[in-house]
Structure 1
């Protein structure tokens, strides 16, 4: 039994079943999928007659007198409608590629209850599209009479009917004396049915098999090229997962490495991971020298995660790590370099976080829903600090083609060794260089209006170019980072004139293109203080999805 559908009056359930004369449970032979009706008041099940091929995805008409379904009786899946009053069969679609879902036999159509409108999915040009049929009852074409061997013949007064009346039978097995098995005596030998009593029962053993292996890359005009490789293995139940990722930079001691294990056997998931990653920060040493500080983090994490529902969860974890710090200097004139160690710091950092996420993605980024993360952490050891961060994002889908996106991020760090927040660049605050603003306090607000920029552009000689589904974006970003409490984001220049003081803002335009294996992004940002332009425009080329 599958694809149940309630009738509008709530007294009948239409569903898909393989019961019928072609099904022999003893021989484990099963007929094609057919439509049946379960009458709740009487408890009887009635097979709809005259069903050739495979039939699935039943949907009721708004008045409950007809039932639509998908059938491949002609060799190609199309939509048919069966009239429950006059027992006639009608065809609604006649597609050469067929009506189908993502998987064979999966639901592929829907019939609106309040309006005479039908939706269905079909495969076209490498993907599934949703199509609308307005007033499908006006488009129906009667199907010519066909043989219905599995049903009783129609009565003599129904010679115009294409489908004979269905045969009713009870849904439960009737009690009574046993009946002889009339199935083919050779069925058992033909299908080689095993003796199930000889099966050995063994306990479940965890065996890992590969789930995913991927290589990713990104490029940003203010960061450069970066790439990584990741793999994941799990058991057949999905309760145990091993994962790993690495970005190799010459030697293992200087590379980014992650290995971990995730247990999802119970409602409360838990994970353990070991990691190493490196951060480099540019230092201003002298005009004739270049320098940067390298920080290599090595440590481990233990985390518990418990969901409230499919979209919300709480996380509790502990990080224990070391930070090895070194300063690298190189002379422009002599070419000589020098590396000096700044020692190693050891500390532990417990954290708790609340996460909510019900986002629906489009071709270049989220198009509907919301996602948020509120986290608090406290570090003890050679470093001592307490930090709180919130990241909330909301997406408004407008007529399936336009999206209004808002992202608000704020963080603060306190203690003996407060942590620095760095904002600026293509992925945070456009109009600035990467990490140009730093502070123990930070906030950021990004607003975007996303729209279809180029539906299709095809050029010939001398530049053969074919672009499809290029998305555009109009944005306004504002944010700031500071160390002390004396932060004044805005000021006024006379009555009614608001100007940015300590914060930073920029507006601009962007374009995004999904090329299949990555998303290309371009942004043009104009810094402003809300009164005039404060700096020159900046161009950003980057790879990755929209926020």
Structure 2
């Protein structure tokens, strides 16, 4: 008889996931992710890559977690690449990339909450490729590099339990603050703060009423923009490219000159029935409510063998949100946007004092098809108290 033997860390691949991603800016892509860990799960490695179908845009990340101690430590490297092509052949093509190195330390407050601090180092890069995509066009202009240092602080609470696919009970939320300090130019510094809280209330058996509240703001010397509207992983999506905020900021989707802000802007999704960037600004506020009824699981008295019927849900929802820059548009004297009209030597600015809130309501259907969890929502959008034509939206993913 021999032993006992000291434990030796031996890594094994835990999973390999291939999925479809529909980026609102870059389009359809394929994502591959993997995870490795030792038997005791004291050490974990995550990695993934995403590339669009045309191979011109991509994401990549790698993360290592050290978990045997009371405080969890991590290190993560991210790379994001975006190619912006002009609408006309005379405009310039810009290639943007963001490299981010992040170190983290997370300490549990309880078995349901933790606080994290993560120093950040970033390099934002843009290259003018000229009016064509030939390889030698990279030499036409010197790349523009900007350097950032910063800190991310997070408070995470999770008291939720998943009893099935997209069937959740309990409460979870996150409060975060991120600061990006411009190292080569202080005028590029900006900060972000947001809160995202979700509650899932059981009504009967596995029928759940889910609500979500989200609020966020960019501030500092160079605040970035939220683009509100649409849903995550939306097939056949549409975006608005025109418009200006009440502070004079143009819609970044309609700007085809050099603009590194496109690397830091965020989509505020979950507003069904509206295009991406229907409203945009430095601050956003959203509310969602959804009644989820798993028909087969509620009516059946035993196990359900069909994957389609077991995960089938009918939903009824209500979404509401607003997005603005400067003063909040809740006062009748404040607006969320304005239009600029140019006629010869004259320029006029028409402020929009319409209802700043967008909202929609409708019904939906969810289930697993072809190995993916698909959602179909029929939404009636309401803008300035006028109800628009119903829109059918097809998306991939869970929750809101």
Structure 1-normalised TM-score?
0.54
Unmatched segments (≥5 aa) in structure 1: 1-193, 457-464, 492-498
Contact in 2 for aligned 1:221/1:540 (Cα 8 Å): no
Contact in 1 for aligned 2:57/2:82 (Cα 8 Å): no
**Within 2, Cα distance between the matches of 1:213 and 1:341?**
39
Q: Give the aligned partner of residue 368 of structure 2.
A: 514
- Taking a change above 3 Å as real, the CA distance of residues 435 and 267 of structure 1, as seen in their structure-2 partners, is farther
**Within 2, Cα distance between the matches of 1:390 and 1:207?**
39
- Taking a change above 3 Å as real, the CA distance of residues 353 and 338 of structure 1, as seen in their structure-2 partners, is same
Q: Give the aligned partner of residue 359 of structure 1.
A: 160
| 1:410 correspondence with 2:215 | yes
Q: Deviations over 1:234-276 (max 9, x none)?
A: 1121111122111135899953111121000111100001110
Count of residues in correspondence between the two structures: 328
Contact in 2 for aligned 1:368/1:396 (Cα 8 Å): yes
Q: Give the aligned partner of residue 318 of structure 1.
A: 119
Structure 2-normalised TM-score?
0.72
Q: Please give the secondary structure, in 1, of the residue aligned with 2:76.
A: strand
The within-5 A match list for 1:368-387 is 368-381=169-182, 382=185, 383-387=188-192
The within-5 A match list for 1:290-369 is 294-326=95-127, 343-369=144-170
Q: Please give the secondary structure, in 2, of the residue aligned with 1:468.
A: helix
**Within 1, Cα distance between the matches of 2:290 and 2:85?**
31
Contact in 1 for aligned 2:113/2:157 (Cα 8 Å): yes
**Within 1, Cα distance between the matches of 2:282 and 2:113?**
29
- Taking a change above 3 Å as real, the CA distance of residues 347 and 542 of structure 1, as seen in their structure-2 partners, is same
Q: Please give the secondary structure, in 2, of the residue aligned with 1:546.
A: coil
Q: Give the aligned partner of residue 468 of structure 1.
A: 309
- Taking a change above 3 Å as real, the CA distance of residues 510 and 213 of structure 1, as seen in their structure-2 partners, is same
Q: Give the aligned partner of residue 422 of structure 1.
A: 227
**Within 1, Cα distance between the matches of 2:9 and 2:181?**
38
Contact in 1 for aligned 2:28/2:52 (Cα 8 Å): no
Contact in 2 for aligned 1:220/1:541 (Cα 8 Å): no
Q: Who wins on radius of gyration, i.e. which is larger?
A: 1
Give the superposition deviation at 1:377. Answer: 1.5
Contact in 1 for aligned 2:229/2:275 (Cα 8 Å): yes
Unmatched segments (≥5 aa) in structure 2: 233-268, 299-305, 334-352
Pick aligned residue for 1:217 from 5, 9, 20: 20
Q: Give the aligned partner of residue 261 of structure 2.
A: none
Between 401-410 and 253-262, the greater mean CA deviation after superposition = 253-262
| 1:487 correspondence with 2:292 | no
Q: Please give the secondary structure, in 1, of the residue aligned with 2:10.
A: coil
Q: Give the aligned partner of residue 393 of structure 2.
A: 540
Q: Give the aligned partner of residue 477 of structure 1.
A: 319
Pick aligned residue for 2:61 from 237, 247, 258: 258
**Within 1, Cα distance between the matches of 2:123 and 2:24?**
31
Contact in 1 for aligned 2:192/2:218 (Cα 8 Å): yes
- Taking a change above 3 Å as real, the CA distance of residues 500 and 201 of structure 1, as seen in their structure-2 partners, is same
Q: Give the aligned partner of residue 62 of structure 1.
A: none
